[in-house]
């Protein structure tokens, strides 16, 4: 075993729908090595059928697992393995049942499911969360990012209620209550907005996309995006997103927006409606968090930061490396790392 592999204390997998990221973590949870592979649970490597043509449903997971971290495991057989995301769904390697909200954060780490690889390695799978209501809400993988973001907070200088936002295809807005006397955090409630997926569908599969052009997302001209963000605050915005999205086309037809601006405007419009709807929901609950933490892609978090400030939410910060930090915290809570890491 070489010295680098001997430093391995945890092998952590972020295994989603379209991709697999593997982390080799050291004694303090630092990333020693990172691998990114295209083997999400809906796009696994193909396997050769057995001679009797029986289908082994676990074989693709085994192949992806071996490619991601097989050599790490052989080099550091003592290191536990933990995985979060869609790998624990019904379409995953082994289903990890949802846990119901509200829930103490530490409880998540003590409720892991397991699957054993052909090589004899135990893989500990993080459960998702469900909010049971008339319209149930679920998450898988985001709970790990929330835990990672919480691990970076200064408990002595943190408000009791915070909002953690995970923008993306299915954006999550997670309400967390901190109980400082108990040194405990509870995930109380969350909302899901399909903003990213709807944006992609509108650009690629509707008439709105016919006149659009690719925009320079790294540019300094935010005028079209900012214009879209504020639509939900206007009298016309009260008609709702299904009405206002058509303005993407009409502002192009009247020459107000060019092709690149239309794409930026639509992005801002959808994000603005998302934030306006969330603010209304929080107002009904008398929940106005003084601190907002963003987790996710840096460019997308930048867009949300800009939009949130337009809606009066100025205390916004971005939590980096939330996934690997969350996996480390969950492994500690599950007792996988031993007393030296607690």
Contact 13, 83 (CB under 8 A): yes
Output the domain CATH number for residue 59.
3.30.420.300
Q: Single out the residue in 86, 106, 133 at which a domain terminates.
A: 133
User: What is the residue-wise DSSP string for 287-320?
Assistant: ---S-EEE-S-HHHHHHHHHHHHHTT---EEE-S
Say how many domains are in the chain: 2
Domain of residue 247, residue span:
195-318
| 212, part of any domain | yes
| 338, part of any domain | no
| 331, part of any domain | no
Together in a domain, 201 and 310: yes
pLDDT single digits (tens) 103-118? 999 899 999 999 999 9
Contact 288, 250 (CB under 8 A): no
Q: Single out the residue in 133, 148, 176 at which a domain terminates.
A: 133
Q: State how far the Cα of 106 lies from the Cα of 299, in Å rounded to an integer.
A: 31
At 185, the pLDDT band (50, 70, 90 cuts) reads confident
Together in a domain, 35 and 128: yes
pLDDT single digits (tens) 276-335? 999 999 888 877 777 899 999 999 999 999 999 999 998 899 999 999 999 999 999 999
Together in a domain, 121 and 213: no
Structure tokens that stand for 80 in this block? 């536990």
Output the domain CATH number for residue 311.
3.30.420.310
At 5, the pLDDT band (50, 70, 90 cuts) reads low
Q: Of 41-50, 146-155, 224-233, which has the strongest mean pLDDT?
A: 224-233
What are the two backbone dihedrals, phi and then psi, of residue 148, each rounded to the nearest 5 degrees? Answer: -65, -40
Together in a domain, 220 and 115: no
Q: State how far the Cα of 289 lies from the Cα of 162, in Å rounded to an integer.
A: 5
Q: State how far the Cα of 319 lies from the Cα of 298, in Å rounded to an integer.
A: 10
Q: Which residues contact 167 (CB under 8 A, 6 or more apart)?
A: 195, 196, 271, 294, 296, 297, 300, 301, 303, 304
Q: Single out the residue in 133, 153, 177 at which a domain terminates.
A: 133
Q: State how far the Cα of 222 lies from the Cα of 227, in Å rounded to an integer.
A: 8
Residue 243's H or E segment, with its range, is helix 241-244
Structure tokens that stand for 323 in this block? 């996934």
Structure tokens that stand for 235 in this block? 């009298």
């Amino acid at each position: 075993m070489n010295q680098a592999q001997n430093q391995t204390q945890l092998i952590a997998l972020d295994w989603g729908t379209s991709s697999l990221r593997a982390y080799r973590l050291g004694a303090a949870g630092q990333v020693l090595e990172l691998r990114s592979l295209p083997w999400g649970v809906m796009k696994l490597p193909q396997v050769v059928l057995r001679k009797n043509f029986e289908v082994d449903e676990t074989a693709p997971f085994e192949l992806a697992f071996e490619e991601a971290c097989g050599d790490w495991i052989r080099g550091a057989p003592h290191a536990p393995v933990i995985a979060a995301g869609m790998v624990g769904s019904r379409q995953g390697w082994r289903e990890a049942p949802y846990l119901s909200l509200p829930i103490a954060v530490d409880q998540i780490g003590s409720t892991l499911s397991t699957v054993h690889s052909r090589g004899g390695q135990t893989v500990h799978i993080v459960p998702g969360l469900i909010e049971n209501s008339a319209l149930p809400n679920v998450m898988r993988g985001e709970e790990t990012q929330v835990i990672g973001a919480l691990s970076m907070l200064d408990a002595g200088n943190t408000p009791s209620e915070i909002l953690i936002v995970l923008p993306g295809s299915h954006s999550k807005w997670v309400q967390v209550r901190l109980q400082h006397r108990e040194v405990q955090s509870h995930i109380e409630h969350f909302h899901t907005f399909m903003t990213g997926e709807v944006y992609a569908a509108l650009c690629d599969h509707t008439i709105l996309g016919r006149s659009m052009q690719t925009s320079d997302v790294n540019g300094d001209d935010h005028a079209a995006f900012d214009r879209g963000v504020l639509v939900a605050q206007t009298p016309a915005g009260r008609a709702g997103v299904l009405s206002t999205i058509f303005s993407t086309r009409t502002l192009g037809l009247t020459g107000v927006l060019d092709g690149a601006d239309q794409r930026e405007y639509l992005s801002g419009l959808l994000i603005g409606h998302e934030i306006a709807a969330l603010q209304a929901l929080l107002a009904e609950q008398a929940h106005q968090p003084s601190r907002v933490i963003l987790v996710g892609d840096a460019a997308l978090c930048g867009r949300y930061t800009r939009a949130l400030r337009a809606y009066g939410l100025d205390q916004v910060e971005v939590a980096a490396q939330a996934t690997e930090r969350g996996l480390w915290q969950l492994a500690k809570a599950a007792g996988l790392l031993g007393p030296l890491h607690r």
